[in-house]
Amino acid sequence: MRTSVTSIRGFLETVLNNKLDGAKQRQFLERAYAQTCNLSELIADMSLLTKIEEGGGLFDAGGVRIAEVVGKVFADTGDAMRENGITAEVEIPHDLMVQGNANLLYSVFRNLTDNVIRHAGAHVRILVRAEKERDGCVCFSFADTGSGVRDEDRLNRIFERFYRLNEGRTRETGGSGLGLAIVRNAIVLHGGTINVKNRDGGGLEFIFTLPAGKMK
């Protein structure tokens, strides 16, 4: 937060204290606006993570048709995916239900998708698959064909708050550094588990479980 506030202040002071032409002034204002957006995202993610950690009583639960949630995520991120040449393949039965909070489940798939957009590279595929129910749970795989994380020590820290796999690339693409921490905590709140590994063909694969729900 300090970094964003310092950047915003610096950009605005430059505009206020210097005689800049219109193009230069706009450039600094756009930079300040971008940092404001980053700060807003950080505050929102911190608020959500705090609510999750405070317990499940703050979230209503019910049967959620998960294919609709994933469809909404890809619709909302469609522009960014197209800009990066990213495509998605989804193998989730339309009638598959899980028991949980729709907003949190949206956050799980949205943050996993944003992670691919920001870090996996261009012209990759996202592969989302659901397996049959076992022991009251549904197992999901969310994978990409991108660059992956070959350093296992770094991969093991991927769910930590504010942990950066690539600091330079994070500055370019934005993000609060809390997305995967939200993913893990939201899944744990639902009584599930999550693991991540490098795919043999390249990229990462997140494997997680969610409680099965009843048909509406």
Q: What is the pLDDT of residues 46-65, one digit of tens each?
A: 777 777 777 766 678 899 99
User: Domain residue spans in the chain?
Assistant: 1-54, 58-211
Q: Are 69 and 106 in contact (CB under 8 A)?
A: yes
The helix/strand/coil state of 58 is helix
Domain at 58-211, CATH from 3.30.750.24, 3.30.420.40, 3.30.565.10, 3.30.70.20: 3.30.565.10
Burial group, residue 142, by CB count within 10 angstroms (0-12, 13-18, 19+): buried
Q: Shortest CA distance to 174 belongs to which of 20, 42, 72? A: 42
Q: Shortest CA distance to 212 belongs to which of 195, 196, 190? A: 190
Spacing of C-alpha 201 from chain mean position: 22
In the block, tokens 């609510």 appear at 51
Q: Shortest CA distance to 141 belongs to which of 151, 160, 155, 126? A: 126
Tokens of 133: 């129910």
pLDDT value at residue 176: 60
Of 50-64, 84-98, 126-140, 145-159, minimum mean pLDDT range: 50-64
Q: Where are the alpha helices (DSSP H) in the chain?
A: 2-17, 22-54, 66-76, 78-83, 102-119, 152-155, 167-173, 179-189
Tell me: the pLDDT tens digits for 173-200?
A: 455 678 899 999 999 999 999 999 998 8
Whether the pLDDT of residue 169 is over 50: the answer is no
